[in-house]
Structure 1
Amino acid sequence: MLDLSRFLANVAEPAALLGPDGQTVPLPMEAYQVLVKVVESMRAGKAITVAPLDQRLTTQEAADFLGISRPTLVKLLEKGEIAYERPATGRHRRVRLSDVLDYQSRKRQERRTTLDQMTADAAAAGLYDEVPDYREALRTARKRRAS
């Protein structure tokens, strides 16, 4: 992997694929960019999955992808948080990968918004001005949250 990573780091343009019979085929720019990202991620020890966005996942596969339990995923499906389909001949739900990615993106944005609001509240309360009394700030925040 290190050799491939070094090679890709020194190549500014897409390379070509070399077949076993010596035939070469230019590698399209899109495939080259994916290859570069895959190699970078693998070199960093990350797991890689390549799948079409319209791929349908089982509830267990979707739960594994999100890092949650299957029962938790089923609750999200039933609440309408993630769209799903039930094949006419089966009773098992199927979830599109694109819908799982959309949910993941929405949750990420919600977390960012919440953290931004918490930071703004802390700044407004003067918690960044000097070393605050965290116990008092925590009591105030709890009172505000309870009301």
Structure 2
Amino acid sequence: MAATMLTRTDVLVTAEDLTSVRHEVESTPAGLVGFAEVMSDGSVRRLPPELSKIIDKALRALAINGSVTVATLPDELTSNTAADVLGVSRPTLLKLARDGEVDSFSVGTHTRFKRDIILAFKAKREADRRESFAELQELEDQLDGLA
């Protein structure tokens, strides 16, 4: 069996490019819903919604972080990969699984996670953080009003 070689292509952007990306993202806070490409013959072809969504996410990540990685995730994730996706340590993820906060399954002696479960868990955690932050801001505003 031949080994699969992963290749990486870096796309570097200038500071001016990044400024343009940030301007475009700021001017469309709800997100872009469609992209089109102009063909060499001048005709315009609208990109499929799935592809437009990927491009929009990549541009938003680039605007926020200054860099972006586009990759695929398999349906089943190792504990290391799932922990990386969640931004937690492997022991923390395994504790979450033991406590029933995130579903997992075993393959032999190894713990595995479904990609969709991990992504949904991540989205819920992010939504909970935003809600908590909004509550803190509201409390701060109330305290400022008392001063």
Smaller-chain TM-score range? 0.5 to 0.7
Counterpart AA for 1:122 = E
Bigger Rg, structure 1 or 2: 1
Identical amino acids, percent of aligned pairs: 22
Q: Distance in 1 between matches of 2:127 and 2:120?
A: 11
Task: Tell me, yes or no, if the aligned pair for 2:62 and 2:68 is still in contact at 8 Å.
Answer: yes
- The 1:62/1:35 distance shift into structure 2, 3 A limit, reads closer
Amino acid at match of 2:70: I
Q: Which residue of 2 aligns with 1:145?
A: none
Q: 1:110 to 1:15 in 2, by over 3 A?
A: same
Aligned match of 2:92: 72
Deviation per residue, 1:28-64 (Å, 9 max, x gap):
6145415634763568421222236xx1100011111
Kindly tell me the number of residue pairs found equivalent between the two proteins.
113
One-letter amino acid matched to 1:93? T
Q: Answer yes or no: is the 8 Å Cα contact 2:79–2:112 preserved in 1.
A: yes
Alignment of 1:1-147 (within 5 A): 1=11, 13-14=36-37, 29-30=48-49, 32-34=51-53, 36-37=55-56, 40=59, 41=61, 44-51=66-73, 55-87=75-107, 90-124=108-142, 127-129=143-145, 132=147
Where does the alignment leave 5 or more consecutive residues of structure 1 unmatched?
A: 17-25, 133-147
What's the TM-score, normalizing by structure 1? 0.58
| Higher strand content, 1 or 2 | 2
Measured in 2, the distance between the counterparts of 1:128 and 1:104 equals: 33
Give the TM-score of the pair, scaled to structure 2: 0.58
For residues 117 and 36 of structure 1, do their structure 2 counterparts lie closer, same or farther at Cα, with a shift above 3 Å needed?
Answer: closer
The verdict on how the C-alpha distance between 1:81 and 1:35 changes in structure 2, with shifts beyond 3 A counting, is closer
Q: Give the unaligned 5+ runs of structure 2.
A: 1-10, 25-34, 40-44
Counterpart in 2 of 1:21?
none
RMSD: 3.6
2:57, 2:138 → 1: CA distance? 37
Contact 1:77 1:84 (C-alpha < 8 Å) held by counterparts:
yes
- The aligned amino acid for 1:47 is T
